[in-house]
Amino acid sequence: MEYDQYLSENDKHFADVFSEYVNGKMGSPRKIGKAIADDHRYLVNEKAKLMFCFMEQLAENWHKGRYDQRNEWACRLAAEAIDHLAENGLYYLPEEYYAKQNQ
């Protein structure tokens, strides 16, 4: 992972545990999605921030062609969603997103 060097130990631990969880331990993505949305409103907002940052990275991967058949669907959907939200003024992307998209 190219971003590992920038993560705190806690963040790296979370990323590793989350990867382990979705790689064979998760029962139902839909049920888990509903469960993590059923939380304190502040925490839901913080989880959404993480989700959108993840989608930004997938969208960047799509625009740069950094995907294959295993993650093409996720990257394409993320790019469509993020780009649509930004075009309609519902989500504000950092300038780096556009700079990286054009590389």
- The per-residue b/e assignment along 32-49, b for 16 or more CB within 10 angstroms, e otherwise, is eeeeeeeeeeeeeeeeee
Residue with tokens 């913080």, as numbered in its chain: 46
pLDDT of residue 94: 85
First to last CA, the chain: 20
pTM, to two decimals: 0.86
Q: Could you give the dihedral angle defined by the CA atoms of residues 44, 53, 79 and 66, in that order, rounded to the nearest 10 degrees?
A: -140
d(CA 59, CA 76): 7
Over the stretch 4-50, which tens digit does the pLDDT of each residue have? 678 999 999 999 999 999 999 999 999 999 999 999 999 999 999 99
